């Protein structure tokens, strides 16, 4: 059941990213992200009261830490995407976001079955292939290999960003099982605050009206995915759930192919 919940979480995350990308195309990214973050916060607060739970101070600390890590990770990730080659930095971040919970989970005593170990081994390169964007051909139609960017600043930033995303996963899973989804509320509160400060500093104004619906959809779906994720973490192995959840780019690719008519690359 935990693996199924993690898979549903990954699918929901991927669809959320699709709507988030649509919103970002229609307005300034800080404005659309703020709407998404605020929408998700509202959903999580409602869920927290419906589900209940008794969150101790330590649970709130884990949530705040998760939100801070993911907030700064997003900033690093956006910078690495703008400064480096997306086909390099995106898979690196996705891979390290999966490696962190696998390492921590095994270090805490996770003992996956042989089948699970084989699945993890296959999933890690699959994350890279799913996340990797095709290289654009030049005017003559020739596709040139990507330049070597290993140990460049964007790649290092994406490594740190992926680790931040992975830490979010670990921190949320470290909260007490009786805390409900209140740690997610704490994390989203920090994330919304960070994005709100950036939005105010950039003075970009409110989002375009046609960007609000997809931004709200993105935030709502992400909150639902977080809920599925935290249930999966509490009922399964962190090392296994972390890898399955990191396969979220798959549904984004499928959504883009269906609704935006984007061509799926061979890899």
Q: Is residue 149 part of a domain?
A: no
Is residue 229 within 8 Å of 110, Cβ to Cβ?
A: no
Closest CA to 216 of 10, 45, 70, 16: 16
Say what the pLDDT of residue 143 is: 45
Query: Taken in order 131, 245, 190, 30, is the CA torsion positive or negative?
Result: positive
* Rounded Cα distance, 58 and 5, in Å: 26
* Rounded Cα distance, 203 and 181, in Å: 33
Is residue 20 within 8 Å of 255, Cβ to Cβ?
A: no
Instruction: Provide mean pLDDT across the span 90-100.
Output: 82
Closest CA to 6 of 183, 225, 249, 255: 225
* Rounded Cα distance, 192 and 199, in Å: 10
142 φ/ψ angles, rounded to the nearest 5 degrees: -95, 130
* Rounded Cα distance, 37 and 18, in Å: 15
DSSP letter for 141, please.
Answer: S
Domain count, the chain: 1
Lowest mean pLDDT among 58-67, 101-110, 118-127, 193-202: 118-127
Coil vs helix vs strand at 144: coil
pLDDT exceeds cutoff 70 at 3: yes
Say what the pLDDT of residue 181 is: 92
184 pLDDT band (50/70/90 cuts)?
Answer: very high
Prediction pTM value: 0.82
Is residue 71 within 8 Å of 191, Cβ to Cβ?
A: yes
Structure tokens at 68: 């801070």
185 pLDDT band (50/70/90 cuts)?
Answer: very high
Is residue 101 within 8 Å of 241, Cβ to Cβ?
A: yes
For 55-78, the pLDDT digits (tens) are 899 999 999 999 998 888 877 876
For 118-166, the pLDDT digits (tens) are 888 887 787 777 766 665 554 444 444 444 445 578 788 888 988 998 8
Say what the pLDDT of residue 116 is: 82
Give me the count of residues in the chain: 267
Q: Is 52 left (phi over 0), alpha (psi -120 to 50) or beta?
A: left
Instruction: Provide mean pLDDT across the span 82-107.
Output: 78
Element spanning 109, H or E: none
Q: Is residue 138 part of a domain?
A: no
For the chain, give the mean pLDDT: 83
Q: Is residue 75 part of a domain?
A: yes
Q: Is residue 139 part of a domain?
A: no
Instruction: Count the neighbouring beta carbons within 10 Å of the beta carbon of residue 122.
Output: 10
DSSP letter for 181, please.
Answer: T
Looking at per-residue pLDDT, the higher value among 132 and 168 belongs to 168
Q: Is residue 146 part of a domain?
A: no
pLDDT exceeds cutoff 80 at 202: yes
Say what the pLDDT of residue 131 is: 66
The whole domain housing 163 covers 2-133+157-259
Looking at per-residue pLDDT, the higher value among 150 and 116 belongs to 116
Q: Is residue 264 part of a domain?
A: no
Q: Is residue 266 part of a domain?
A: no
Contacts of 119 (CB under 8 A, 6+ apart): 240, 243
């Amino acid at each position: 059941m935990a693996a199924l919940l993690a898979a549903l979480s990954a699918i929901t995350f991927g669809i959320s990213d699709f709507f988030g990308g649509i919103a970002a195309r229609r307005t300034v990214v800080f404005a659309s992200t703020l709407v998404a973050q605020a929408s998700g916060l509202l959903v999580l607060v409602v869920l927290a009261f419906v589900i209940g739970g008794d969150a101790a101070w330590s649970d709130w600390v884990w949530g705040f830490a998760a939100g801070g890590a993911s907030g700064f990770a997003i900033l690093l990730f956006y910078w690495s995407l703008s400064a480096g080659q997306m086909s390099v930095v995106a898979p690196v971040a996705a891979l390290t976001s999966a490696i962190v919970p696998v390492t921590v989970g095994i270090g805490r005593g996770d003992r996956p079955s042989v089948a699970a170990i084989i699945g993890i081994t296959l999933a890690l390169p699959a994350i890279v292939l799913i996340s990797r964007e095709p290289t654009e051909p030049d005017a003559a139609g020739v596709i040139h290999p990507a330049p070597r960017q290993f140990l460049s600043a964007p790649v290092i930033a994406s490594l740190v960003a992926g680790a931040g995303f992975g830490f979010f996963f670990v921190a949320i899973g470290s909260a007490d099982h009786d805390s409900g989804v209140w740690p997610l509320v704490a994390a989203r509160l920090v994330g919304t605050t960070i994005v709100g400060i950036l939005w105010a500093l950039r003075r970009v104004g409110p989002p375009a009206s046609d960007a609000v619906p997809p931004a709200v959809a993105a935030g709502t779906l992400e909150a639902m995915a977080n809920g599925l994720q935290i249930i999966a973490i509490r009922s399964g192995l962190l090392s296994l759930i972390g890898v399955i959840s990191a396969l979220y780019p798959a549904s984004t690719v499928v959504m883009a192919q269906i609704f935006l008519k984007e061509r799926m690359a061979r890899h």
